[in-house]
Structure 1
């Protein structure tokens, strides 16, 4: 009998000495998704991607085809980005969607499958793969690369006729952040993808402002998770200088926890408890890191649908309104919808409009004005 607590060899990290192409499939296996309504065949994938600073790294995800036979091949591809699942542990979406089907966002994925779309769900960078953690939470460029490279991997899967398939991206909360970063990075990082549009709800557009807002409250565990995730993403910088000895021990413990454990363990505990100063986000080095993680500085070349709840107690609606205004000022084809409900309520209530927007985007190729860009090592 297989020990459920034993490491899964499929998710062991392969050596990338050969510098694989971003999106290249390194490992794959078929899996069952019996609890996912509308699903047909599914594959767990390990594929090549890049960190925020262009280093090759393996990532994992899952790809699911719709049950409707006429759409099983040549169907549009939706990359669905889940909300924050944790820094470590067995909480990767590609694992939760298979077997017992305990992924909390299953209903949104099922809705897309019912549309006849192929759905690809990336695990967050550093999550799922053995030995690569913790998850690089809040690192926008790394998340964008994982999203776009999974779309590339789907195009390369031999069982599908998806090489020319149009694609879209959808996400909420941290998943919404990954979605807009993918839209911003796509023209330079993955220009060959036929990206048609993006839907993103409750986007964490300014992590620095959010961390200061939630510090010491019920969501304080997410602030600590952001410190851990960005420390991993910016490991080439001495970002750990702000931590006390107790802080280093706390970080070591936190990087093994899923979202529920992080929120329960560190509720109402300010970051200053583990740092040399009470406001670590105001440290000059961390100000640089957090400023570098602000969305809305680059114009997506595809339509974007943003939505947010006016009663959102986690991500203030003003943050979403600000991103909408930034995109409008950049000339992006952006739409906006508010819902008079909470963070969780908006995820459910806004799904129908998000799907409708995505369906419209997938039917029409956007009128893109191509802007020349200098060569980038990320696209080689």
Structure 2
């Protein structure tokens, strides 16, 4: 149960004596106003308190890299989520709410956004990039478009961006939990004015598209109280086996290498460190401190085989078992999107109660087209209303921006309660 606020004077004295971790824990119990420091936002508590989605710390913050003159109130925040093992974990992110009153008859909608690949290091956090703390900022226009439409926007950094952490890159269930809990946190920030019953949209591209679809698949079981109107997911790496083999040795090999490191973060008991040669250990150290640009250009044409003592291929790594006999490949298969999904009442592992919009660039050059096609087909075969746009202008990187008008139109119709289009041929 959330406690009532204490008098302001008592709060000032009590919080002055607290460590950052203690302050974060107290905030999660509802005792703190939005008065954390930037350091406290990015300092993980010893034990995250409260329920999934509870705000652990918050700070009014400007985001100067968002273009356009959109009067808004905005915050950095730290909130509680759940990792793949069911353990509580703290996640950072940002929230922005337009100053203009929402004109609709229903509560102001919330768009929950997961950016594409940022990099593994804590300095790469999206909320830091938006506040001007890092030079690699991108995927800015998405937030600006949603704010211009009058929607509140909550953007998760994803797990592993707090001080001393590494991002569990491509661990899909972690990403899905973090995005759903960001929706919860948006309404639990007392100053936001967001209605807990507000319609929400899930949005992401590339790594963020994977996160958005995992949130879609987990929503009914993990966050059934949320009023999710629809999902927009683009450039989705739906099958990590296919993606890893395709990227290895190519221009974007850094993404495959980063995924191996990210899965090691998520599954630390699986074989990893003992496989590496000196080159591999140096690559892991470099990747762990790299953001997007360095991940792309610092590892172009690199091959996983050159990082292990035995020259293991991606498929040979997939075949390696962990302590309980589970192989890396079986773990990768658990993260394949579109498996075990079904419509409401189907009895499927992941029942999906709202429509989705999947899209990709017409000149896609990073994510293998076949896995994007298969993910869309799996959703159609499961009876999920699915809009499909495979011809967004540009390649993988450009399409993220080119699709914005289509995504905004999609969300506008979903929030207005219009019938969802379905390109599945039913």
Q: TM-score of the superposition, structure 1-length normalised? A: 0.89
Change (3 A) 1:331 1:35: same
Largest Rg, 1 or 2: 2
Q: Does 1:110 align with 2:110?
A: no
**Bigger relative CO (Cα 8 Å, ≥ 6 apart):** 1
What's the offset of the Cα at 1:241? 4.3
SS of 2:376 mapped into structure 1 = helix
Q: Does 1:307 align with 2:359?
A: yes
Q: Which moved more, 1:334-343 or 1:210-219?
A: 334-343
Aligned to 1:293: 335
1:54 to 70, 86, 105: 86
Q: Does 1:230 align with 2:260?
A: no
Q: Does 1:148 align with 2:148?
A: no
What's the offset of the Cα at 1:194? 0.7
Change (3 A) 1:230 1:105: same
1:24 to 51, 54, 57: 54
Q: Which moved more, 1:139-148 or 1:84-93?
A: 84-93
Q: Does 1:126 align with 2:160?
A: yes
Ranges in structure 2 where 5+ consecutive residues have no aligned partner: 1-37, 320-326, 343-351, 421-426
What's the offset of the Cα at 1:356? 1.0
Aligned to 1:263: 296
1:63 to 78, 84, 95: 95
Change (3 A) 1:322 1:39: farther
Change (3 A) 1:239 1:366: farther
Aligned to 1:354: 407
Q: Which moved more, 1:347-356 or 1:172-181?
A: 347-356
> Aligned runs of 1:164-179 on 2, under 5 Å?
164-179=197-212
Ranges in structure 1 where 5+ consecutive residues have no aligned partner: 1-6, 368-380
User: How many residue pairs are counted as aligned between the two chains?
Assistant: 358
What's the offset of the Cα at 1:364? 2.1
- 1:221-245, Cα deviation, whole Å (9 max, x unpaired): 1111000001101113334443334
Aligned to 2:33: none
Contact 2:41 2:77 in 1 (8 A): no
2: CA distance between counterparts of 1:203 and 1:126?
21
Aligned to 1:93: 126
Contact 1:77 1:119 in 2 (8 A): yes
SS of 1:60 mapped into structure 2 = strand
What's the offset of the Cα at 1:282? 3.3
Aligned to 2:389: 337
